[in-house]
């Protein structure tokens, strides 16, 4: 989840991004969530030597022990590490007696799973990337701390405002899995959609297509100029939903996405799903997908796109930072909400997927959980938020933080897309609730196979519905539903 960095990037959910998630979708390998499930099932709470609470003051509302060690593990994805290192320095300045251990890795699960088993997890984790730990499993096995104390604490800049009152709409709700407790704080605010070069579109004398007939016409025109219509992260095809899911919501309405999230029987057989699958398959069938795309990872596909080999790329807003070294200065980076089918769509053009990415968690067994929450409180302050936005070209969960910042082309386009969407913002939760289903089954075994031409749309629908039904029947998996 990019970060999720994509890799929700992976968003992601992978997450950044990754799922999106990032929630979010970065990282190099994908590890089955079932291995983590079995490990968590037997893990202890740990944290026998938890840090004693410190004195609660106006400057230390969470009662952090100012001499306790605090450990922070970041997903090393599309957003890099500098923004977090800067925030750590603020923590160190505020608590000069504290030792802070900061590290970054792409291998979140394989690095941290043994430590959950041993009862010695870090105090704060950016749980993103292709090796994202399954959030639904973590919640179901009571492995995470409730972040309500953080959300109810005074905000870093204004003691008269709670942290929760400074966040973008939907952030708090995304962190809930069932009930009122909040288990996850999604730090980045990701705009998912179809990314393109305005310069390339202008060269074709075209506007961004709003209907699928127009999309096919633009792709045909691009091919005559030696440019493919689309490319995507073929090795991580769970990037495809970054544009496909909101298209399904646009065509069939939010209730179709809710039914998919809820693992309802035959949810994937809805006419809107079938129609959108057939539309995407048409890109393959007509030869509008860049040759070799199924073998490309996220970096390779983004590089080919940035070099003008393909016009459109489904991705999250981390792509601007992640591809900064290959995107030409005159590229005119832009993002659009997904193209729809036509006038019969339930929601208007502009319907967009935007949501929290980069999921941060404080383990229940953390030895200095208050320190982990305080680090997040710092990061949700205006200064740290502005620093993130200016350095990585993405918004944060903090509702603001863009004043005085010169917005980069992609970020400016993302903000404009959000404004155009208005209330028509969708937020599929399947990538957060069922990580393995989303990535390995729907993404790789379903959509990836269809876009490579190895499954027809009808076969992909049947296969994915089967995967969803298996997950719904699996009593070892905790299930979640929209209220």
Q: Classify residue 182: in a domain, yes or no.
A: yes
Displacement of CA 173 from its chain's centroid (Å) = 15
Check residue 442 and report its DSSP letter. I
Q: How confident is the model at residue 44 (pLDDT cuts 50, 70, 90)?
A: very low
Specify whether the CB–CB gap between 437 and 226 falls below 8 A: no
Does position 151 have pLDDT exceeding 90, yes or no? yes
- Which pLDDT score, from 0 to 100, does residue 25 have? 31
* pLDDT tens digits, 180-233: 899 999 999 999 999 999 999 999 999 999 999 999 999 999 999 999 999 999
Mean pLDDT of the chain: 90
Q: How far apart are CA 326 and CA 78, in angstroms?
A: 14
- Which pLDDT score, from 0 to 100, does residue 244 have? 98
Between 432 and 279, whose confidence is greater?
279
The pTM score is 0.79
Q: Classify residue 206: in a domain, yes or no.
A: no
Count other Cβ atoms within 10 Å, centred on residue 308: 17
- Partners of 196 in the beta sheet? 334
Q: How confident is the model at residue 170 (pLDDT cuts 50, 70, 90)?
A: confident
* pLDDT tens digits, 242-265: 999 999 999 999 999 999 999 999
> Within 13 Å, how many C-alpha atoms sit on residue 221's CB side?
17
Looking up tokens 């994509």, which residue turns up?
6
Tokens of 168: 């973008």
For the chain, percent of residues with pLDDT exceeding 90: 79
- Which pLDDT score, from 0 to 100, does residue 39 have? 38
Specify whether the CB–CB gap between 63 and 370 falls below 8 A: yes
Q: How far apart are CA 417 and CA 246, in angstroms?
A: 13
Does position 10 have pLDDT exceeding 80, yes or no? no
For every residue of 92-140, which 3-state class applies, written as one string?
Answer: HHHCCCCCEEEEEECCHHHHHHHHHHCCCCCCEEECCCCCCCCHHHHHH
Looking up tokens 């970065």, which residue turns up?
26
Count other Cβ atoms within 10 Å, centred on residue 418: 19
Q: Classify residue 434: in a domain, yes or no.
A: no
Q: Classify residue 402: in a domain, yes or no.
A: yes
Instruction: Kindly state the average pLDDT of the residues 64-81.
Output: 95
Q: How confident is the model at residue 156 (pLDDT cuts 50, 70, 90)?
A: very high
Q: How far apart are CA 402 and CA 410, in angstroms?
A: 14
Q: What domain count does the chain have? A: 1
Q: Classify residue 373: in a domain, yes or no.
A: yes
Q: Classify residue 421: in a domain, yes or no.
A: no
Q: How far apart are CA 209 and CA 322, in angstroms?
A: 26
Q: How confident is the model at residue 48 (pLDDT cuts 50, 70, 90)?
A: low
* pLDDT tens digits, 225-239: 999 999 999 999 999
> Within 13 Å, how many C-alpha atoms sit on residue 421's CB side?
27
Domain that holds residue 81: 33-190+355-409
User: Which domain CATH number covers 389?
Assistant: 3.40.190.10
Count, in order, helices (H) and strands (E) of the chain: 20, 10
* pLDDT tens digits, 291-337: 999 999 999 999 999 999 999 999 999 999 899 999 999 999 999 99
Check residue 165 and report its DSSP letter. G
For the chain, percent of residues with pLDDT exceeding 70: 90
Q: How far apart are CA 361 and CA 147, in angstroms?
A: 8
Instruction: Kindly state the average pLDDT of the residues 135-139.
Output: 88
Check residue 381 and report its DSSP letter. S
Q: How far apart are CA 18 and CA 132, in angstroms?
A: 9
Looking up tokens 């053009």, which residue turns up?
349
Specify whether the CB–CB gap between 261 and 427 falls below 8 A: no
Q: Classify residue 325: in a domain, yes or no.
A: no
> Within 13 Å, how many C-alpha atoms sit on residue 242's CB side?
50
Q: Classify residue 478: in a domain, yes or no.
A: no
Tokens of 126: 């950016």
Q: How far apart are CA 40 and CA 44, in angstroms?
A: 8
Instruction: Kindly state the average pLDDT of the residues 432-444.
Output: 94
């Amino acid at each position: 989840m990019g970060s999720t960095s994509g890799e929700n990037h992976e968003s992601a959910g992978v997450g950044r991004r990754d799922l999106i998630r990032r929630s979010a979708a970065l990282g190099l390998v994908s590890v089955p969530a079932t291995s983590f499930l079995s490990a968590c099932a037997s893990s202890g709470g740990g944290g026998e030597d938890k840090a004693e609470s410190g004195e609660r003051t106006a400057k230390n509302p969470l009662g952090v022990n100012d001499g306790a060690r605090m450990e922070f593990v970041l997903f090393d994805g599309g957003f890099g590490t500098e923004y977090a290192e800067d925030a750590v320095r603020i923590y160190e300045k505020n608590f000069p007696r504290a030792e802070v251990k900061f590290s970054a890795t792409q291998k979140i699960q394989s690095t941290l799973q043994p430590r959950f088993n041993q009862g010695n997890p870090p105090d704060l984790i950016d749980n993103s990337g292709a090796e994202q730990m399954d959030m639904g499993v973590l919640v179901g096995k009571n492995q995470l701390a409730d972040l309500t104390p953080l959300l109810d604490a005074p905000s870093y800049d204004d003691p008269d405002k709670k942290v929760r009152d400074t966040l973008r709409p939907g952030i708090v709700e995304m962190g809930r899995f069932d009930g009122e407790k909040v288990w996850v704080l999604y730090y980045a605010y990701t705009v998912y959609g179809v990314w393109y070069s305005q310069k390339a579109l202008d060269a074709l004398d075209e506007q961004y297509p709003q209907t699928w007939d127009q999309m096919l016409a633009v792709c045909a025109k691009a091919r005559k100029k030696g440019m493919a219509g689309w490319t995507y992260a073929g090795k991580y095809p769970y990037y495809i939903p970054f544009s496909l899911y909101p298209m399904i919501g646009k065509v069939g309405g939010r209730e179709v996405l809710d039914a998919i999230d809820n693992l309802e029987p035959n949810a994937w057989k809805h006419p809107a799903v079938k129609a959108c699958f057939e539309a995407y398959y048409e890109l393959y069938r007509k030869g509008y997908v860049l040759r070799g795309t199924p073998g490309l990872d996220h970096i390779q596909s983004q590089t080919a796109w940035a070099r003008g080999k393909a016009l459109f790329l489904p991705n999250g807003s981390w792509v601007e930072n992640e591809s900064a070294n290959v995107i030409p200065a005159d590229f005119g980076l832009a993002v659009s909400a997904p193209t729809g089918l036509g006038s019969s769509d339930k929601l208007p053009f502009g319907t967009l997927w935007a949501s929290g990415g980069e999921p941060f968690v404080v383990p229940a067994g953390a030895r200095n959980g208050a320190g982990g929450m305080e680090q997040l409180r710092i990061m949700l302050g205006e200064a740290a938020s502005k620093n993130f936005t200016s350095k990585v070209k993405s918004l944060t969960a903090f509702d603001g933080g863009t004043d005085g910042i010169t917005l980069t082309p992609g970020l400016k386009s993302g903000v404009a897309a959000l404004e155009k969407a208005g209330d028509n913002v969708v937020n599929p939760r399947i990538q957060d609730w069922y990580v393995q289903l989303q990535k390995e089954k729907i993404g790789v075994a379903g959509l990836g196979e269809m876009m490579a031409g190895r499954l027809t749309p009808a076969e992909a629908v049947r296969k994915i519905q089967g995967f969803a039904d298996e997950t719904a029947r699996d009593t070892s998996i905790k299930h979640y539903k929209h209220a």
